[in-house]
Amino acid sequence: MSLNRCMYLFSRLQRHISPRTARITAGSCHVPSGVLHKQHQAGSGVCSRHVSSNSSSPKPPDTSLFVPVPLKTDPAVDGSVGAELTQPLDKNQLLKMLNKFYKRKEMQKLASDHGLDARLFHQAFISFRKYVLEMTALPADLHIILSDICFGAGHVDDIYPYFMRHAKQVFPMLDCMEDLRKISDLRHPANWYPEARAIQRKVIFHAGPTNSGKTYHAIQRFLAAKSGVYCGPLKLLAHEIFEKTNTAGVRCDLVTGEERTFTDPEGRAAGHVACTIEMCSVNTPYEVAVIDEIQMIRDLSRGWAWTRALLGLCAEEIHVCGEPAAIDFIREMMFTTGEEVEVHNYERLTPFTILDQAVESLDNLRPGDCIVCFSKNDIYSISRQIEARGLECAVIYGSLPPGTKLSQAKKFNDPDDACKILVATDAIGMGLNLSIRRIIFNSLIKPNINEKGEKQMDTISTSQALQIAGRAGRFSSKFKEGEVTTMHRDDLPVLKEILSQSVDPIETAGLHPTAEQIEMFAYHLPDASLSNLVDIFVSLSQVDGVYFVCNIDDFKFLADMIQHIPLNLRARYVFCTAPINKKQPFVCTSFLKFARQFSRDEPLTFDWVCRHVNWPLALPKNIKDLVHLEAVHDVLDLYLWLSYRFMDMFPDTAMVRKIQQELDETIQEGVLNITRLIRATDSTITDMHGNVGTSSSNNVTGSKGQRGQGVSGVVIDSSLASRLVRDGLLTPDLLRQLQREGSTHSSSTKAKI
């Protein structure tokens, strides 16, 4: 090799090594000077370098969340510089050398000290070994050090700096862990709202059980104020306050996730606004703010919205309404802001009595009864059994549109209507004014989501039981005294025990990562998926004892669904915060199509939406049709929700709202004829005696409260059969064949006897 050629190769090698060596020794990632400063100015507080003196050392990261990043290699960068300076490497020798390095306890310990636990060390090594053995041309510095080791001029431990360089490329979070920890520091949420901290707010807690007038007193102050905001947990409650305020002669706007209604014809904001709590503004100054149902601050999914409202609303007076179990906790939270809490206690205006007898049979129902179930299948079954006895009933459950819920409530409340019985889920617990004489718990078991995001069946809590039982005998209804009991005799002592207990005190409040925090995470981890970003964020997040990070499973579900769709991070984040029911396949499919159309920069027009939902839709012929109409209503809700975040891409809000109102009326008509729909659904579903039935093992079917039994005393749950057929897991023909075989088996058994 000529002297000139050697000088040329060494000059390239020097230029190549210098910047990489600097990156290895630096050990941390660069943060633009404006990023942390801007976040601090915005009042987030999460990037502050101040660490609470009473906090423990940071928890170790959950490395199972660290997903290796595919390397983007460019073999032409170094060419064959290393090989020209030394000689080609023998793959067999390399393999032995690398395996020896992997087994070195000293190297494992050193890697662990730099953030590579056993799991990450193994993954990084596999990637490094594959890289070394499969690359046609290695970086010159790595090629030379490997060659030196092969020829005895170096030690196997000399591989470590190059291995770590590779590991930080595969796991980029290792190189900026301190910055990630600062971004995800959630220990001082009160500091996120500098506008609220700049004023001395007066906090008034209106504490009492249901039907005690606590919200009424807060609303009176809201109406008397020059400006105010009402924050409620449900659209129905926001609508109710919106209507009452305007009826009282106080101009009030309505803001929900899917709707903006301005009383001013030109769209100027009124001094008062009624909104769902997620939609409240923490930048607008008000004289009075009302935060309803404050006990939901501990809700595993939505608690963050109450925390944000309580800490962030810029109002001279904050009126908080809720259970007495939250008083001490709210005092503790306000202590961190330097604000005192004034407590007003209220007693229930009308009493309710726990009866000593269960209903035991639907034959014993009386006008004003409300049977509370915790599943739609039980609602369908019981409503059919009630109408089979010649009685009319109204039904209310969570997935019904608000207009349908109100129409069913109006039907039940109307003294001139023949409908005197209500069958409902715990959706009646708040947001509807109902004239109920007696609450009847059909069951005390309800599906819940635990702290891990897992669904489990559990006995209802004292708080839930009181919320539902308190709907009996409302002050504003025609029944001044209420009664509470159960359908089944065995449940009554359990209910009495639940209601006799005190409500568990609230001890924690929810938090949720903001879009800005996730964007800062993405700056450091540009190749990570959004789902992985929030996972790592939660893993690294630090909260003090009174806060927790809300469940993000729904967010991650949507993030994973649209990960393959090219969207910028902010748009992706907004899409993933959309409130959709992930149990509805049609809604999920629509969400995916909306995101795909949006990514193409193609507006989602009214005609496009109509083609997608197959508008116009016919009246439902069975329960499956009704469920589909409810899903279509949710899809239109999703369109409206997105239209207020991306107005140019979802331009036809008015027309979509119009067909949604028409669909609401169609669903109302379907619910009014729900017994006919159930009968049509079950026309091909018969029990093993050949009789049509929808009773579940949880429901009363006999006049003496006996649970339904089939052949040989086996409990028949034909609602299960309905679901199997509806979901395509069992065909009607196969079901009939099974029934014939069951009947044949029954006959042969009787003959033997």
- 40 within a domain of the structure (yes/no): no
- 740 within a domain of the structure (yes/no): no
Domain count, the chain: 4
Together in a domain, 588 and 539: yes
- 261 within a domain of the structure (yes/no): yes
Together in a domain, 341 and 365: no
Together in a domain, 204 and 247: yes
Together in a domain, 486 and 526: no
pLDDT of residue 535: 92
Together in a domain, 124 and 270: no
- 718 within a domain of the structure (yes/no): no
pLDDT of residue 29: 38
Which run of H or E residues covers position 285?
Answer: strand 285-291
CATH code of the domain containing 591: 1.20.58.1080
Together in a domain, 478 and 572: no
Pull the structure tokens for residue 116. Answer: 């590579």
Pull the structure tokens for residue 204. Answer: 């008034």
- 386 within a domain of the structure (yes/no): yes
- 745 within a domain of the structure (yes/no): no
Residue stretches of the chain with pLDDT short of 70: 1-58, 72-86, 449-455, 475-477, 682-753
Domain termination residue (choose one: 345, 365, 399): 345
Together in a domain, 558 and 586: yes
Query: 541 is in which domain, residue-wise?
Result: 514-684
Domain termination residue (choose one: 473, 500, 527): 500
Cα separation, 631 vs 15, in Å, equals: 61
Q: Answer whether 208's CB lies under 8 Å from 347's CB.
A: yes
Cα separation, 123 vs 567, in Å, equals: 30
Strands 393-396, 421-424: pairing kind = parallel
Write b or e for each residue in 697-722: b if 16 or more Cβ atoms lie within 10 A of its Cβ, otherwise e. ebbbbeeebeebebbeeeebbbbebb
Together in a domain, 614 and 588: yes
Cα separation, 513 vs 534, in Å, equals: 8
CATH code of the domain containing 121: 1.10.1740.140
Together in a domain, 290 and 159: no
pLDDT of residue 11: 52
Together in a domain, 528 and 493: no
Q: What is the DSSP string of 527-589?
A: TS-HHHHHHHHHHH-B--TTEEEPP-HHHHHHHHHTTTS---HHHHHHHHT----TT-HHHHH
- Sign, Cα dihedral of 597, 603, 606, 607: negative
Domain termination residue (choose one: 634, 662, 684): 684
Helix residue ranges, H only, 389-529: 402-413, 462-469, 491-500, 515-524
pLDDT of residue 8: 45
DSSP code of 602?
A: -
Together in a domain, 322 and 234: yes
107: closest CA among 152, 141, 158, 176? 158
Q: Answer whether 301's CB lies under 8 Å from 186's CB.
A: no
CATH code of the domain containing 307: 3.40.50.300
Which run of H or E residues covers position 734?
Answer: helix 732-752
pLDDT of residue 349: 86
- 638 within a domain of the structure (yes/no): yes
Together in a domain, 216 and 280: yes
- 315 within a domain of the structure (yes/no): yes
Cα separation, 432 vs 285, in Å, equals: 30
